[in-house]
Amino acid sequence: MKIIKRDGRLVDFNPEKIESAILKSFNAVDGGSSAYAKEKADNIARYIYDYAKEAQNPLTVDEIQ
């Protein structure tokens, strides 16, 4: 599965990048990553992966955000 980067490149979808971004948000707000934060990050990344898999066209980074 591919996504479209902001510069127009088509790249492989990487759910770890989504998880990392979400965990960075939790760190910024809470000062750390709890088990809850990790579970939520995993759930969100999995949801986006499933959504992107069913999409007619590759998603853009902005659509994912």
Tens of pLDDT along 15-50? 999 999 999 998 898 787 788 889 999 999 999 999
| Non-local CB neighbours of 1 within 8 Å, separated by 6+ positions | 12, 13, 49, 52, 53, 58
Determine the pLDDT at residue 31.
81
Structure tokens at 56: 């007619």
Determine the pLDDT at residue 1.
87
Binned at pLDDT 50, 70 and 90, residue 10 comes out as very high
Determine if the pTM surpasses 0.85.
Answer: no
- Angstrom distance (rounded) from CA 58 to CA 43: 20
In total, the chain counts a number of residues equal to 65
- Angstrom distance (rounded) from CA 27 to CA 33: 6
Determine the pLDDT at residue 4.
95
